[in-house]
Chains A and B, each alone.
Chain A
Amino acid sequence: MQDVAIVGVGQSIFSRKCGVSIGELCFEAYNEAMEGLDITNNDIDASIICSAPEYDKQRSPAGSISEYLGLTPKPSFYVETVCSSSSTGLRVGWSLIKAGLHKVVAVIGFQKMSDLTSRDAAERMSRGGDIIWESPFGITMPSGYAMYARAHMAKYGTTEEQLAKVRVKNSHYGAANLKATYRKELSLDEILGSEVISSPLKKFDCCANADGASCIIIAGGDVAKRVTSVPVWIMGLGAATDTMTMSGRESLTGLRCAQEAARQAYEMAGVGPGDIDVAEVHDCFTIAELMAYEDLGFAKAGEGTELIDGKETYVGGKKPVNVDGGLLSKGHPIGATGGSQIRTIVNQLRGQAGEIQVQGAEIGLVHNIGGVGQYGNVTILRR
């Protein structure tokens, strides 16, 4: 069976309000992904459309988006694992190519969240938890991660200042990302002084809702080498789940779904945490990035804070993480996020990351989580 490569990556500008339709938003990402590729829309054998439902009104968005991108009459279908939908889409696309069913597949993630008020968006996310037993108490995304943060603080002595340092780093890089929603550098004091959303998480510990789209085009090895001079190979794929209920979690100081997905991805790729040159992790909240350091094995449990204290996750540090600004700066258009993370790593491995380039990066990792640790996805790429 031939290997599978990523041949094209693109994303729209992520913003609080895009002012265009979901098809138009996806076209912007598709346009960038197709740049420089020696293929046309007719060469794309299938499209996988990834988002979380109930934000915009379009039901069955695969039909609408495949029409707008000119991908009919090829098969198109919808994949959903909330915030990690497009990583799941990549996994499904990889399988389709590996199975020999298709040669070229487009994985398109999108979310248009600006049709809803912030409270209504919070209500949708609350229903991304267990609606029978936990949503009736008013659980929210920030409160789910806040409970992890509080448990991490209680067990390991992690401080609010250490959480804030994650945002300091990510805001530093976000300021230079032309496609990010937030492009302002934030100081430690500004972050620590921002209003409390769900204790101990403050406004600047949280990513923002956004509109955006991403597009990843993958192909089997023979096609990949023909259509691009810079294929990036999918070496490892890991995926796992944890309970929908918060009460079902065995641990509240790390995400078990991420630990398991990482184990699978490392094993499949034949590499370990020490081999990763650059990583994108799911920093929907500052605590999520700290836990990712530990869940991915970049640090031992409870020692993730040492990486941020020592600035080891900056460019030039031991393990550069989220040097495109992360979700905290880019904003988090749910279905588009995984594809945006993959785009960043692909550009790094191609040596096309500009001023955030990690010199000599050969192996990169993407960690993309759905919900409050319900769906874990880890992808390892190599140039």
Chain B
Amino acid sequence: MSFENFGIVSFTTETKASDFVDYLEKGKVMATRCRKCGTNYFPPRMDCPKCVGSDVEWFEIKGNGRLVTYTVVNYGPTGFEEDAPYTLGIADFDGVRVFGRISKGIKESDIKPGMGLKILPVKLPGDRIGYEFQKV
């Protein structure tokens, strides 16, 4: 599977960070780190603007994160008509902030900023793949 299968609808197919999707298939959500200056990157990127270099490595986002904020989207754009309502959120994993969807398995009334979440790859309809935040 390649990057064109990432998310509900993808808008681009090419990035040097497309290994991200291969890692998702192996059950891992990954970020990158610059080997030279130690800066962590999510979204993952293979170039470090601080060092103006490209010596980066992958690392897995593991453990429990903390929900920073969220919203339940009732009106989706073209391509997401059938998908709404869905919940978007930003979670913080030890300083690495990740934007994504919160699992439909969590009731809206149970979602609170500050709550603990874990992050896992998920299979999506149409042979697609993504990741989501799930209950700890």
Contacts and interface: CB of A to CB of B under 8 A. Distances in A.
A318 to B, nearest CB: 30
Nearest to A141: B77
Contacts of B100: 137
A122 B83 CA distance: 14
A249 B68 CA distance: 11
Contacts, number: 120
A70 to B, nearest CB: 38
A252 B43 contact: no
A136 B69 contact: no
Contacts of B120: none
A191 interface: no
Nearest to B5: A136
Contact of B71 (A120, A146, A154): A146
A18 to B, nearest CB: 23
A172 interface: no
A150 B43 CA distance: 22
B70 A147 contact: yes
Contacts of B106: none
B7 interface: yes
Contacts of A150: 69-71, 113
A362 to B, nearest CB: 39
Contacts of A123: 77-79
Nearest to B15: A132
B54 interface: no
A236 interface: no
A142 B74 CA distance: 10
Interface string A173-188: 0000000000000000
Interface stretch (A196-204, A225-233, A350-358, A363-371): A196-204
A200 B42 CA distance: 26
Nearest to A250: B97
A334 to B, nearest CB: 16
Contacts of B15: 132
A126 interface: yes
Interface string A126-166: 11001111111111101100111111001000000000000
Contact of A247 (B42, B80, B81): B42
A105 interface: no
B71 A122 contact: no
A309 B23 CA distance: 50
A142 B75 CA distance: 9
Nearest to A116: B78
B90 A147 contact: yes
Interface in B64-119: 68-81, 83-84, 86, 88-90, 97-101, 108, 112-114
Nearest to A202: B74
Contacts of B98: 247
A195 interface: yes
B57 to A, nearest CB: 19
B99 A247 contact: yes
Contacts of A200: 71
Interface string A98-141: 00000000000000000001011011011100111111111110
A154 B43 contact: no
Contact of B113 (A119, A120, A151): A151
B72 A196 contact: yes
A139 B75 contact: no
5 closest pairs, A vs B, by CB?
Answer: A136-B7, A146-B71, A122-B77, A133-B43, A151-B69
20 contacts: A120-B78, A125-B77, A136-B7, A136-B11, A137-B100, A137-B101, A138-B84, A140-B73, A146-B71, A147-B88, A148-B69, A149-B71, A150-B113, A199-B108, A200-B71, A201-B71, A247-B42, A247-B97, A249-B90, A252-B68
Interface of B: 6-12, 15, 42-43, 68-81, 83-84, 86, 88-90, 97-101, 108, 112-114, 130
Given A117-B78, A137-B99, 17 more contacts: A123-B77, A133-B99, A135-B9, A136-B130, A137-B7, A138-B88, A139-B88, A139-B99, A143-B71, A147-B89, A148-B69, A149-B71, A150-B71, A154-B113, A197-B75, A246-B90, A247-B43
